């Protein structure tokens, strides 16, 4: 089953400058706190209602998402979508592998894997710092590493002649 493809390219980086047919809507971001996995009952047919028990693995998965760096950017609708996704996760971990493709597609929307994050153009802050030369090879570290290197000119006394 195919995914949704790459995210749209930033208009300023496009080769052609065709105007978008639909104007972009700018929304005010409001960060939402992660909800807990809810307690609820499911209809068990003629026997009545049965309490739903979350698989332990789904509870661990939920805690992982709550602590993830991506969670800092989740709004209330993101958490609602992820909560629905938790039900699919519970279904898979309860033995119904037919729900696995839907689970894969849903977690990809949140940047679950390195490939998903690359497609969504997500980057961890440490990678941003390294790319900007803020890591160990940038600025002061480079000056210290190369401080003892001196240029040798062949016309200076005490230096060997080339080829001799």
Is 44 inside any structural domain? no
Contacts of 74 (CB under 8 A, 6+ apart): 31, 32, 34, 82
Is 62 inside any structural domain? yes
Q: For residues 13 and 17, what is the distance between their CA atoms, to the nearest angstrom?
A: 9
Does 164 score more than 60 pLDDT?
A: no
Contact 69, 33 (CB under 8 A): no
Residue-range definition of the domain harbouring residue 60: 54-123
DSSP assignment of the chain, as one string?
-----PPPPPGGG-SS-PPPSSPPPP------PPPPPPP-EEE-GGG-EEE----HHHHHHHHHHHHSGGGGG--HHHHHHHHHHHHHHHHHHTT-GGGHHHHHHHHHTTT-SHHHHHHTT---HHHHHHHTT-STTSHHHHHHHTTT-----TTSTTSPPTT-
Is 101 inside any structural domain? yes
Is 109 inside any structural domain? yes
Is 77 inside any structural domain? yes
Average pLDDT, the chain: 83
Is 60 inside any structural domain? yes
pTM for the full model? 0.62
Which of 5-14, 28-37, 64-73, 101-110 is predicted with the least confidence, judged by mean pLDDT?
5-14
- How many domains does the chain divide into? 1
Is 147 inside any structural domain? no
Is 48 inside any structural domain? no
pLDDT in tens, 75-124: 999 999 999 999 999 999 999 999 999 999 999 999 999 999 999 998 88
Does 39 score more than 70 pLDDT?
A: yes
pLDDT for the residue numbered 46: 77
């Amino acid at each position: 089953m195919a995914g949704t493809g790459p995210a749209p390219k930033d208009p300023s980086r496009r080769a052609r400058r065709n105007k978008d047919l639909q104007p972009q809507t700018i929304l005010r971001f409001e960060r939402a706190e992660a909800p807990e996995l809810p307690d609820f009952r499911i209809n068990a047919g003629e026997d009545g209602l049965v309490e739903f028990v979350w698989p332990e693995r789904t509870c661990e998965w939920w805690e992982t998402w709550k602590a993830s760096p991506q969670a800092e950017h989740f709004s209330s609708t993101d958490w609602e979508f992820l909560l629905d996704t938790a039900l699919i996760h519970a279904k898979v971990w309860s033995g119904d592998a037919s729900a696995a493709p839907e689970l894969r597609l849903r977690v990809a929307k949140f940047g679950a894997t390195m490939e998903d994050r690359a497609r969504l153009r997500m980057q961890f802050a440490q990678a941003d710092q390294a790319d900007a030369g803020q890591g160990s090879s940038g600025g002061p570290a480079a000056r210290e590493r190369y401080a003892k290197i001196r240029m040798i000119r062949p016309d200076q006394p005490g230096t060997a002649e080339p080829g001799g």
